[in-house]
Amino acid sequence: MSPLPPITVFVCTSCKRPLPANGPEAFDTPGATFAAQLSACLDGQNIVIEPIECLAVCKRPLTIALAGAGRFMYLIGDLDPAAHLDDVVNASRAYAATTNGIVPWRERPQTFRKGVLARVPPIGFKQPDPVT
């Protein structure tokens, strides 16, 4: 059996997370720091962490995308870098272990069950004809 191709975890670095305790105009942008933390946790595991300037999901910060050749892509938002690092690490490993990108619902961390914004089919995907 040949090894699975690597996956990429794109981490939005421009997501602005509100900081309500500091007033209505206060925010931070935790994506770059979160990407560095993920890189440290997933180093050497066939998982590439790629900071990206914008994933255009500004109302659901912090947002990531899990992508890989021939796999469905997941876009996940509402992540808290301090609380969800382990969830993202575990979900990235589970995703990397699939051939099609579909991680069974029961194996997804709760944050992913609630935070999935989209599951996008891979280029060239054709829906199988329904069995009649």
- Evaluate whether 68 touches 100 at the Cβ level (below 8 Å): no
- Evaluate whether 120 touches 101 at the Cβ level (below 8 Å): no
Domain annotation for the chain: domains and CATH numbers:
7-120 (3.40.30.10)
Reading the block at residue 70, the tokens are: 């021939």
pLDDT of residue 2: 65
- Compute CA distances 38 → 19, 50, 112, whole Å: 22, 10, 16
Say yes or no to pLDDT of 106 above 70. yes
> What would the 3-class secondary structure string for 18-43 be?
ECHHHCCCCEECCHHHHHHHHHHHHC
Instruction: Tally the C-alpha atoms within 13 A of residue 27's C-alpha that lie toward its C-beta.
Output: 13
Reading the block at residue 86, the tokens are: 């382990």
pTM of the entire structure? 0.90
pLDDT of residue 23: 76
Say yes or no to pLDDT of 88 above 70. yes
Please give the residue that has the higher pLDDT: either 132 or 66: 66
- Please report which confidence band the pLDDT of residue 1 belongs to, taking 50, 70 and 90 as the band edges: low
